[in-house]
Amino acid sequence: MLYLALGRGAWGELLAKVKVAAIQARPVGGDFRHPGNIRHALELLDECFRMDDEVQVACFPEYFPWSGGDELARKAEDLGMYVIAGLAEEEGGALYNSCVLIGPDGAILGRQRKLNLGLMERKHFGFSPGRELHVFDTDFGRVGIGVCVDFWGPPNVGRELARMGADLIFNPSFFFIFREVWHCLLLARAVELMVPIVAVDVAEFPFRLGDKVFESCGGLSCIIGPPWRDLDDFASWWYEPKFNWILGQLGYEEGILIRELDLDLARELRGAWFSRLLGREAPWP
């Protein structure tokens, strides 16, 4: 295993299978900056643990819960769970849209600041763009975080994460427009990269922006991965391929989606996929 030395599993090796949760949270009062969001985030993590106490990593949407890193770290340690949370973080007078990865020991393993900011984020929230892309090593493999448009917009972020060895990519997002094309764009990323994707939106709520209310906002969180059981299943798929790569998805209500992903198998299938499709074992150079 390539990242053996980097993993932190109790047995000194990577856990190939990982149970992931997409927590489609609804901001309290329809407001990302509501102080009650952190409490709601903690409740949702408890709820996730009640649903399945084997969940290893839970991911919130971007901006959620906005603040409360210390409380999240304590909860992550309580539950023995990795947590990815959307926090607005200040540094040097600038505000960043960060997705923070907290380990099951409560330590902050790192943060991914959003690189590409749409007009709303610049004007309404006053965010500054991040500059660096990271991957993070966990017990179950190497993780990348493409924050909202960073991942579904320009394809270079996903490609770079794959190049850096990401076995699993999280896409914490907030769709107040564009939600209708999200799955389409994610499917394109899956075809290009063949890396499992955990894509997390907020639950639907009326998003107020100045004097305008966006009603068709939120929902549709999903988990995408190669649908094949093994290499034989993969080989026979090509005779009548169906793109049932969405392993599970939520509707518009608040909810938690849990799936188990086999990252070893996904890695094997990745090489097979590109060999077959492009005549070489990797995505584009």
Q: Is 129 in the site for a second copy (CB under 8 A)?
A: yes
Q: Is 149 in the site for a second copy (CB under 8 A)?
A: yes
Q: Is 271 in the site for a second copy (CB under 8 A)?
A: no
Q: Is 240 in the site for a second copy (CB under 8 A)?
A: yes
DSSP state of 30: G
Q: How many binding residues for a second copy (CB under 8 A)?
A: 40
Token couple for 42: 């903690």
Cβ-contact 160, 199 below 8 angstroms: no
Q: Provide, rounded to whole angstroms, the least separation between the CB of residue 274 and a second copy.
A: 9
Q: Which residues are CB-contacts of 257 (< 8 A; sequence separation ≥ 6)?
A: 21, 22, 24, 221, 222, 223, 248, 249, 250
Please measure the distance between the N-terminal and C-terminal CA atoms of the chain and give it in whole angstroms. Answer: 23
Give buried/exposed letters for 48-78 (b at 16+ CB in 10 A, else e): bbeeeeebbbbbbbbbbbbbbbeebbebbbe
Which of 2, 90, 277, 281 touches a second copy (CB under 8 A)?
277
Q: Provide, rounded to whole angstroms, the least separation between the CB of residue 79 and a second copy.
A: 36
217 class by beta-carbon count within 10 Å (0-12 exposed, 13-18 middle, 19+ buried): buried
Q: How far apart, in whole angstroms, are the C-alpha atoms of residue 233 and residue 214?
A: 43
Q: Is 249 in the site for a second copy (CB under 8 A)?
A: no
84 class by beta-carbon count within 10 Å (0-12 exposed, 13-18 middle, 19+ buried): buried
Which of 78, 185, 260, 264 touches a second copy (CB under 8 A)?
185
Q: Is 188 in the site for a second copy (CB under 8 A)?
A: yes
Q: Is 232 in the site for a second copy (CB under 8 A)?
A: no
Residues 62-101: x/- map of binding to a second copy (CB under 8 A)?
Answer: ----------------------------------------
Q: How far apart, in whole angstroms, are the C-alpha atoms of residue 47 and residue 122?
A: 34
Q: Is 11 in the site for a second copy (CB under 8 A)?
A: no
Which of 155, 165, 227, 271 touches a second copy (CB under 8 A)?
155
Is the CB of 66 or the CB of 182 nearer to a second copy? 182
Chain residues in the site for a second copy (CB under 8 A): 116-119, 122, 129, 149, 153-157, 159, 177-178, 180-181, 184-185, 187-189, 191-192, 212, 216, 238-243, 275-279, 283-285
